[in-house]
Amino acid sequence: MNRPLAASDRRTLEATSPSQLPVAIIGAGPVGLAAAVHLLGHGLEPVILEAGARVGAAVRDWGHVPMFSPWGYSTDRAAVALLQRHDWARPDEAGYPTGLDLAERYLDPLAATPEIAGRLRLGTRVTGIARAGHGKIRTAGRDDRPFELRFVDSGGREGRIFARAVIDASGTWSSPNPAGAGGLPAIGERAAAARIRYGMPDVLGRERDRYAGRRTLVLGSGHSATGTLLDLAELARQAPDTSIIWAFRSTDRLFGGGEADQLPRRGALGLRLRALAEAGAYEIVAPFAADAIETTSDGGLHVLGDRDGVMHTIEADELVVATGLRPDLSILGELRIDLDPALDCPRALAPLIDPNEHSCGTVRPHGAAELAQPEPGLFIIGMKAYGRAPTFLLATGYEQARSVAAHLAGDLEAAARVELDLPETGVCNGPGRREAEAASCCGPAARAAPAKASACC
Ligand SMILES: Cc1cc2nc3c(=O)[nH]c(=O)nc-3n(C[C@H](O)[C@H](O)[C@H](O)COP(=O)(O)OP(=O)(O)OC[C@H]3O[C@@H](n4cnc5c(N)ncnc54)[C@H](O)[C@@H]3O)c2cc1C
């Protein structure tokens, strides 16, 4: 078995051919773990570096959230096959997990298999990656150099490993967009951090006391905002002094695909939100572009922003920022990467997932070819592969993992094959719909694709 080299073992490295080194996977989320299983299936050796103390650290953070795709679309086929060799209690395919269910009933058992357990390094945060000994601008001999990954462990100690290839499956959960409408933090946002929560707080559970009886402003209009608004409405029913303000920039696709969404749970969330909004559960301020946040002397917040060209102030006790996620690209800074300038996703994916054009939940199946980077052996997969686009689905990530593992094993035919079978989801309703459809998931090419290609329209 190839093992990662000890930090100081430079001479051993020089004597080791890159092909003897493991493939490093960054992140033990659902997609990173699936990639490890697929690599093992090809006889390749993975090492999985996970920042959290347990696998699925991000998924556990939103563990209270019910998923909108059923178990059948939330697990990877190869991982299921591995689990079934270890007496796994398989959940009902048609049932719907929460994030915590996914972690405890799928990811934990997967991590406990002997195949994965010995290859998993928890509490290991990757801080940077380079071609060993070759700076970013040095071309000669570059592709023959192994990757060097630097990390910090849970005790704060620095270390490194060397790898023949790198699969970055580190997700986007830990780098939320700020409240500021232009993408920069609103003036005063950092100073007001104690009153701000990013993502999806557990307002009906762990964080109930923080929101019960308070006035909470939710900023944003995507799936995370929807989930939080629904939970806050329930909290307001239980704790009557609770009030909710909902501010967002654009009224486009506000309530999702509704009944046209073939992930019915997701469509239903939008319909519930619409009904609550129409019943007056929320004080709606829109269009609103947040610009500055002031903390008042009694610990409250004033959120200032543009509303139809006029500066408007929203008063609140708490602010939930649900304005989307973005990839942390800092660890890739010493590598040659080619990302779409708007979405921060691999360039070839951008026309398929651009939210200016699509609201669809899925894209034409894609794999190693679309995900390849100028740095051979480097792949960004999973949620991070979608950059800033909001429509990633696990099934898409599992297909990416399968294809990339096949590519790294030299099985180019399998890498190019399409094995994704998804429901048709979402509705393309962006401004550039016709042009986008012609080129992407909604267009004739996708519909004519050999496998069921999730033509979203
Ligand atoms: C609230 C919510 C609900 C969702 N519901 C669904 C759904 O119903 N169906 C669906 O298909 N998709 C859903 N998604 C989208 C997506 O499938 C999930 O976000 C999924 O967790 C993405 O998996 P991933 O493995 O790519 O990334 P993640 O699950 O985010 O895993 C990334 C892992 O990398 C680790 N990591 C990060 N940085 C580093 C580093 N520098 N070094 C080492 N480790 C690092 C993290 O700790 C984490 O464990 C949902 C997303 C959210 C946020």
Q: Mean pLDDT over all residues of the chain?
A: 88
DSSP 52: S
CA dihedral angle for residue 2, residue 395, residue 225, residue 200, rounded to 10 degrees: -30
Ligand 1 site residues, Cβ closer than 6 angstroms: 26-32, 49-52, 56-59, 62, 65, 67-69, 74, 125-126, 169-171, 173-174, 200, 224, 331, 382-383, 392-394, 397
Is the confidence at residue 430, as pLDDT, over 50? no
Whether 146 and 247 map to the same domain: the answer is no
Looking from the CA of residue 395, the nearest atom of ligand 1 is 11
The domain total for the chain is 2
Whether 109 and 128 map to the same domain: the answer is yes
Q: How far is the CA of 48 from the centre of ligand 1 (A)?
A: 15
Whether 455 is in a domain gets the answer no
Whether 29 and 161 map to the same domain: the answer is yes
pLDDT 10s digits, 239-256: 989 999 999 998 776 777
Residue 17: predicted pLDDT: 73
Whether 386 and 422 map to the same domain: the answer is yes
Query: From atom 41 of ligand 1, which residue's Cα is the shortest distance away?
Result: 126
End of a domain among 274, 292, 321? 321
Q: Give every CB contact of residue 37 below 8 A, 6+ residues apart in sequence.
A: 76, 78, 79, 82, 110, 115, 116
Q: Which residues form the domain of 296?
A: 193-321
Residue 444: predicted pLDDT: 37
Query: From atom 31 of ligand 1, which residue's Cα is the shortest distance away?
Result: 29
Whether 358 and 276 map to the same domain: the answer is no
End of a domain among 321, 351, 367? 321
Range from 18-22, 206-210, 394-398 carrying the lowest mean pLDDT? 18-22
Which DSSP string corresponds to 424-457? ------STTHHHHHHHSTTSHHHHTSSS------
Looking from the CA of residue 125, the nearest atom of ligand 1 is 42
Whether 25 and 167 map to the same domain: the answer is yes
Whether 166 and 205 map to the same domain: the answer is no
Whether 316 and 330 map to the same domain: the answer is no
pTM of the model: 0.91
Whether 312 is in a domain gets the answer yes
CATH label of the domain that carries residue 64: 3.50.50.60
End of a domain among 285, 300, 321? 321
Looking from the CA of residue 383, the nearest atom of ligand 1 is 26
Whether 345 and 434 map to the same domain: the answer is yes
Whether 35 and 154 map to the same domain: the answer is yes
pLDDT 10s digits, 379-392: 999 999 999 998 89
